[in-house]
Chain A
Amino acid sequence: AQSVSQHNHHVILSEAASLELGCNYSYGGTVNLFWYVQYPGQHLQLLLKYFSGDPLVKGIKGFEAEFIKSKFSFNLRKPSVQWSDTAEYFCAVRASGNTGKLIFGQGTTLQVKP
């Protein structure tokens, strides 16, 4: 069965600091990978996704993620965070070609101090 692990549960950064959130998954086959963001009181919004091709994917709001197959990882990065990036971030994995079940990590709460 698939599983997803996010290493950091709560991250506090100052504005302009760089961000890296870890995500590892366990599944032996081909996967689709996603990062979602949830601002306080809102629903989940897609930040970026990886299906195939270039393992470095760019998403909205300056976020990017790198898929490293050998490490089963899909870490999220942003060179310089802003106060408005304060939110909860979820990594999610779906076995490629299945009925579409998306399995989520526990989430990482990011707090950016102005």
Chain B
Amino acid sequence: DAGITQSPRHKVTETGTPVTLRCHQTENHRYMYWYRQDPGHGLRLIHYSYGVKDTDKGEVSDGYSVSRSKTEDFLLTLESATSSQTSVYFCAISGERSGNTIYFGEGSWLTVV
């Protein structure tokens, strides 16, 4: 597929604990994104990155932080997980080599109890 690996794929965690989701790409694309998918809301952009150490907020960034220290990795951190952050999280990538089309990873299912 698009050379995107998300980990973990499934996680159950308790309210108040920190959680980090990892997105790893093998395509050397410039742009990386984190979306969350919830019923009735489609996909909403949390944060995105346009280069190493260059990140910006999306539509629903509250409660989330990101880091990109290497081109291939984009980390999403929930500093203190809440039940409202139970969701499916998708990483996506794009760049000139993909014709600027955005391709998605397989998703990470997070449940906060």
B-contacting residues of A (Cβ < 8 Å)? 6, 32, 34, 36, 42-46, 49, 51, 90, 92, 94, 99-107
Chain B residues with Cβ below 8 Å from A51 are 100
Contact, CB under 8 Å: A43 / B104? yes
| B78-113 interface with A by 8 A CB criterion | 90, 92, 94, 100-107
Q: How far is the CA of A49 from the CA of B102 in the complex (A)?
A: 10
Q: Most chain-B Cβ atoms within 10 A of its Cβ — which of A32, A43, A44, A45?
A: A43
Q: Does B45 contact A (CB under 8 A)?
A: yes
Q: How far is the CA of A34 from the CA of B42 in the complex (A)?
A: 14
Closest chain-B Cβ to A87's Cβ sits at a distance in Å of 14
Q: List 11 A-B contacts (CB under 8 A).
A: A32-B100, A34-B101, A42-B106, A44-B104, A90-B43, A92-B43, A100-B50, A101-B45, A105-B42, A106-B41, A106-B42
